[in-house]
Homo-oligomer: A and B are copies of this chain.
Amino acid sequence: MPAPADTLTIDWVDGGVRLIDQRRLPEEFVLLDLRDYGDLAEAIRSMAVRGAPALGVAGALGVALAAAQMAGEREQVFWEGLAQAADHLRGTRPTAVNLFGGIERAFRAAAAHRAEGPAGAAAAALAEARTMIEEDIAANREMGRHGAALLPDQGNVLTHCNTGSLATVHYGTALGVVRAAVEMGHRLHVWVSETRPRLQGAKLTAWECQQLGISHTLIADNVAGWLMRQGRVDAVIVGADRVAANGDTANKIGTYSLAVLARAHRVPFYVAAPVSTIDRQLASGEAIPIEERSAEEVTTVSGRRITPPGVVAYNPAFDVTPARLISALITERGVARPPTTESLQELFPTPATAGPCL
């Protein structure tokens, strides 16, 4: 299923939001055109679009779409409706901070143009969302540049979940770093952990590696420790859904186990994420809300039940890896190493309390 190489994961096209429906990959490459912010909220909830950076843009585009829908309304109706839309979008997924950051950026942009009336405010929200799209692509390229230097000239890199183009607008975070390294001539082979329950590794990362011609092998999540034991993993690189001020990182469930395993085997463990994923308001990862999703994601695969009826499953979508297990955090502004609290602060021009960093 080859995709047009220049298709963005999520974009503003023809007066609405266009996104790749990731629920249907790798079987089908389908674009969704959404004209109602409620439909976009549902697309976020059901993970038609996912990945923290992509969710940031989705949040901003959601506000822009709501604003466009209501641009003809009276002032008060518009602002009340836009606030409701922002709340509705915020209620979709709790862990990735980018979603909230994107919603806030677009909303603030609209508010800054309040004097121009609903149509002007809507235009400002859309302009901000489009800026975020450009920033995302540029940030991923920069992350790739900073991160590639950390990866070996040749060897095996293990990655978890999907952090490629599909998790962003384009290019990717952790998989973007691998891609950048390969483009620079590193001879890397990628172990793709399938990432139960939703199999983003098997479905999305394997698909992206195929598209990009990156050498890869799929493994059940259970295999990672055994590969490390055999010396067959030279680095682990993952993305992030929220990074606390001290570097503690929420990411796809299973990330924490990989970090413990990597430490036990002296394998470097890298996190690649844009600064928009850093939540400087949270001192540590303990305060990060962890989304618990439906048990059905575990008890069924591709719509087919794998368990006896009545079996209960526990399905946290994320876990939190403490900063001490992270060798380096790769951002578009540079690489933060332990002590992470201090090195993260150096990436920001202003103190955390000074204003809207997101």
Quick check: which of A69-77, A216-224, A236-244 contacts chain B, the rest being far away?
A216-224
A196-233, CB < 8 A from B: 196-197, 199, 202-203, 206-207, 210, 216-226, 229
Q: In the complex, are the beta carbons of A221 and B206 less than 8 A apart?
A: no
B307:A203 contact, CB within 8 angstroms: yes
Does A313 sit at the interface, judged by CB under 8 A? yes
A127 at the interface (CB under 8 A from B): no
> Residue A9 at the B interface, CB < 8 A?
no
Cβ < 8 Å to B, chain A residues 270-321: 295, 298-299, 301-302, 304, 306-308, 310-316, 319-320
- The answer to whether B222 touches A254, judged by C-beta atoms less than 8 angstroms apart, is yes
Task: Determine if A194 is an interface residue (Cβ-Cβ < 8 Å).
Answer: yes
Whether B202 contacts A220 by the Cβ 8 Å rule is no
Interface status of A261 (Cβ within 8 A of chain B): yes
Number of interface residues of A (CB under 8 A): 51
Interface flags for A257-273 (1: CB within 8 Å of B; 0: not) read: 10011001000000000
Residue A26 at the chain B interface, CB threshold 8 Å: yes
Given contacts A229-B319, A257-B225, contact A219 B304 (CB under 8 A): no
A304 touching B302, Cβ below 8 Å: yes
A319, B226: Cβ atoms under 8 Å?
A: yes
Number of copies of this protein chain within its complex: 2
The residue in A26, A202, A226, A260 that gathers the most chain B C-beta atoms within 10 A of its C-beta is: A226
Tell me if A10 is interfacial: C-beta within 8 Å of chain B: no
CB pair A218–B313 under 8 Å, yes or no, is: yes
List residues of chain B with CB within 8 A of the CB of A256.
225-226, 229
Residue from the list B191, B196, B210 in contact with A196, Cβ < 8 A: B196
CA distance A203 to B261 in the complex (A): 27
Whether the Cβ atoms of B264 and A260 lie closer than 8 Å is yes
Least CB distance, A20 to chain B, in whole angstroms: 14
Closest B residue to A207 using CB positions:
B308
Query: A298 touching B226 by the CB < 8 A rule?
Result: no
List the B side residues contacting A195 at CB < 8 Å: 222
> What is the CB-to-nearest-CB distance from A274 to chain B, in angstroms, rounded to a whole number?
24
In the bound complex, what is the Cα–Cα distance between A260 and B196 (angstroms)?
A: 20
Please judge, given known A-B contacts A218-B311, A221-B222, A312-B218, whether A301 and B298 are in contact too, CB under 8 Å.
Answer: no
Q: Are B260 and A220 in contact (CB under 8 A)?
A: no
A13 beta carbon closer than 8 Å to chain B: no
Partner of A222, one of B226, B257, B302: B257
* Residues of chain B lying within 8 A (CB to CB) of residue A196: 194, 196, 220-222
- Write the chain B residue with the least CB distance to A318: B226
A181 within 8 A of B: no
Question: Does A1 touch B at the CB level, under 8 Å?
Answer: yes
Contact A306 B202 (CB under 8 A): yes
List 29 interface pairs A-B (beta carbons < 8 Å), by A numbering. Answer: A191-B314, A194-B298, A196-B222, A197-B220, A202-B306, A202-B311, A206-B311, A210-B310, A216-B312, A218-B295, A218-B313, A218-B314, A219-B313, A220-B221, A220-B254, A220-B298, A223-B253, A223-B254, A224-B257, A225-B257, A225-B260, A226-B253, A226-B257, A226-B316, A229-B320, A257-B261, A260-B264, A301-B306, A302-B306
A-B pairs, top 9 by smallest CB distance, nearest first, are: A222-B254, A225-B257, A226-B319, A26-B308, A196-B220, A218-B313, A301-B301, A206-B311, A302-B304
